[in-house]
Amino acid sequence: MTKSTPTFIQFSFYIIFFYFLLLVSHASPQLHHQEQAVLVNVMQYWQISSSNGWSSANCTPADCSPPADLITCINGSVTKVLLQNQGIALVPPFICDLKNLTVIDLSYNLIQGEFPTAFYNCSKLEYLDLQSNNLSGTQHR
């Protein structure tokens, strides 16, 4: 059994792979930071405050952990927003900047008028509940 020494090409591959891993490990926290900033803006837009169990200090890039009954995060990325009966009247146009959002429940709020077009930009949205708001317009089935 002969033990071969790495060639220059193999060695170069290992170095490039190492730098790629280093780059990816530094890029990941930035995504978490972006999620935090969007979530803080959404909650401020809706004026959800510490009286509702929310504080922007609870959602950090390393551990996005606002109250589980309001917001669900997986790996620092917001996946669910459950804000029923919070007095919400408008949907922020940047809500879908939360790129991994799959569930939004804004039932029993004060949303009026046409369907909020901001939701058209939620590419991963699987469930949207807007029941018992005051939406108007033509119903399509």
Q: Where are the domains of the chain?
A: 9-135
Q: Looking at domain 9-135, does it have CATH number 3.40.50.2000? A: no
Per-residue pLDDT tens for 79-136?
999 999 999 999 999 999 999 999 999 999 999 999 999 999 999 999 999 999 999 9
Average pLDDT over residues 1-23: 58
How does 23-46 read in b/e, with b if 16+ C-beta sit within 10 Å?
Answer: eeeeeeeeebebbbebbbebbeeb
Task: pLDDT band for 31, please (50, 70, 90 cuts).
Answer: very low
